Structure 1
Amino acid sequence: MLVAGFPTGAFQANCYLLAPGEGESCVIVDPGQDAEDGVREALRKHRLTPVAVLLTHGHFDHTFAVAPVCDGHDIPAWIHTEDRELLADPMKGLSNQSAAFFGGRLELREPKAVQELADGAELDLAGLRLSVDHTPGHTGGSVVFRSGTEEGGRLMLAGDTLFAGSIGRTDLPGGDSAVMMESLRDKILPLPDDTVVLPGHGPTTTIGQERRSNPFLADVGETARGGRRTGL
């Protein structure tokens, strides 16, 4: 599997392109602010043809360029039902402080074609089979995408559900710390240790590394065993 990634915009949200290999079809994941040039360069460098954009959630730092990328290549965007409204009204996902930074207005629009995701969906796109897990907590419609590789590895596109050493914030509209803990316990902790995690911000990690060192996952593990939950 070919994976090309780069950070985008002021918030350094990671955008990824996934394909079976060079010269193949691909999917684009989370094209954030100013992502168009990076997407264009990755497509050219690896001779890729995009067939869809996948969105891990609806926050604008992950969706800023979704309309021009999708409409420019005549491809659909896939997003969970509960976050779809954020495509056209990103202010609903911002805190009052963040909204004030943008003068109370941030105008985006949906791409021409939008498909809605649901928990447990299986997507066959660009020669890849991707499993969709609904992981609310950061937003109501947050998801992670999982895929196996021909080399026998496991891959998860985590969005802002899980980072190296941390998890997504839960204090924005649509966030919920208790629901986040449930998502981590039910959807993240059961994954094999060798699962490679491509997060929405920051460096790549693995489930095993996070199980050993991420304090939030340690808290979830204690909660699952009936211990006291701390840290959130």
Structure 2
Amino acid sequence: MPIPLEDLYNDVISKSMRGLGLSEADVAAKAGVNIEAVTAAKSGNADDAVLLKVAPVLQLDGPALVTMAHAAWAPLDIQLDGLAQFNTTYHDMTVNAYLVWDAESKNAVAFDTGADATPMIEFIEKNGLNLSLIFLTHTHGDHIQDLARLSADGAVTTFVNEAEPCSGAGVKTFKLGDTESWETGSLRIEPRSTRGHSKGGITYVVSGLQQPVAIVGDALFASSMGGGMVSYADALATTRKEIFTLPHATILCPGHGPLTTVGEEKEHNPFYPEFK
């Protein structure tokens, strides 16, 4: 069963308002609509005309927002040899973790753990893979919940950006600029800073499979973003610089919601109107 989009259109509106520091009254005045219309939009009851007026105020793409309101788009189903997504339940939501592997050497690399690493551990065992490294996109609890078990209490080295360290056996920090990439089998993993949702958020660009892959954590979701919990401006800017400059065919692996691609997000993500 496909994983649904992480955010609804009203989630996008709320994240934009919060990030830009705009109240309902501010948005209403700038968009030329009444406050009740903005309240309705935030609660998921807006009509298309209101969305098209509100979107520019929130620096969003209006048609993409309307498309979300009608649930008229979802990313294409993506299957790639050497890439697996694991979706586990964390309280009232779900969270993703990922595994990439080199078919010849059987070396595998994990990205985050999700809420429960059991499905990933079972997949590794079933397919005769060797978990050689673990990388963390960021250290929010839902992404590292099962790190001790996945790493076998530190037997597998875990890397995390020094700007966002976490405790645990076998955890090593790295400094961007000092670390160009890691290699295992035919895979090459390059870290890129996508801070904003978290202070040390990292996107890992993986080459060596049939398509380029980017594990983006909560920097970007299909049709949305993780929100600028640390800095909304940085969250948007780093994603533009480090993710949207990747080839259109790059598969994006978000921390929540379905897989997508750079090309699909340029066309459908309301937060990036300049690409439409």
TM-score normalised over the length of structure 1: 0.76
SS of 2:132's equivalent?
strand
Measure how far apart 1:71 and its partner are.
Answer: 3.2
Q: 2:145 aligns with which of 55, 64, 67?
A: 64
Q: Which whole-Å CA distance do the structure 1 matches of 2:82 and 2:181 have between them?
A: 20
Q: CA deviation at 1:161?
A: 0.5
Alignment deviations for residues 2-49 of structure 1 (CA, whole Å, 9 cap, x no partner): 1122112323211111101277011111102222x1122111221111
* Greater RCO, CA 8 A, separation 6+: 2
**Counterpart pick for 1:54 among 106, 111, 135:** 135
Contact 2:100 2:109 (8 Å CA) reproduced: yes
Gap change, CA 1:142 and 1:113, over 3 Å in 2: closer
Question: Aligned with 2:271: secondary structure?
Answer: helix
**Structure 2 partner of 1:197:** 252
- Secondary structure class of the residue paired with 1:74: coil
Structure 1 unaligned blocks of 5 or more? 89-109, 223-232
Residue ranges of structure 2 left out of the alignment (5+ in a row): 1-80
How is 1:123-134 mapped onto 2 (pairs within 5 angstroms)? 123-134=182-193
| CA deviation map 1:63-119 (0-9, x unaligned) | 1111222134711111111110xx24xxxxxxxxxxxxxxxxxxxxx1234242525
What is the number of residues matched between the two proteins? 193
Paired with 1:81 and 1:139, the residues of 2 have a C-alpha distance of 13
Counterpart contact for 1:184–1:217, Cα < 8 Å: no
Q: Secondary structure at the match of 2:204?
A: strand
What is the match of residue 21 of structure 1?
A: 103
Is the contact between residue 136 and residue 158 of structure 2 (CA under 8 Å) also seen in structure 1? yes
Aligned 1:1-232 pairs, distance under 5 A: 1-10=81-90, 11-21=93-103, 24-35=106-117, 37-72=118-153, 74-84=155-165, 87-88=166-167, 110-119=168-177, 121-151=180-210, 153-171=211-229, 175-218=230-273
Q: Please say which of residues 7-16 and 205-214 is displaced more in the overlay.
A: 7-16
Runs of 4+ in 1 over 3 A off after TM superposition: none
Could you tell me whether the CA contact under 8 Å between 1:163 and 1:202 is conserved in 2? yes
Change (3 A) 1:195 1:129: same
Partners of 1:73 and 1:46 in 2: how far apart? 22
Which has a greater percent of strand? 1
Write the letter of the residue equivalent to 1:146. V
Do the aligned partners of 1:23 and 1:47 also contact (CA within 8 Å) in 2?
Answer: no
Q: Equivalents in 2 of 1:14, 1:117: separation in Å?
A: 25
When Rg is computed on C-alpha atoms for both structures, the one with the higher figure is: 2
Q: Out of 5-14 and 131-140, give the one that drifted further.
A: 5-14
Contact 2:97 2:113 in 1 (8 A): yes
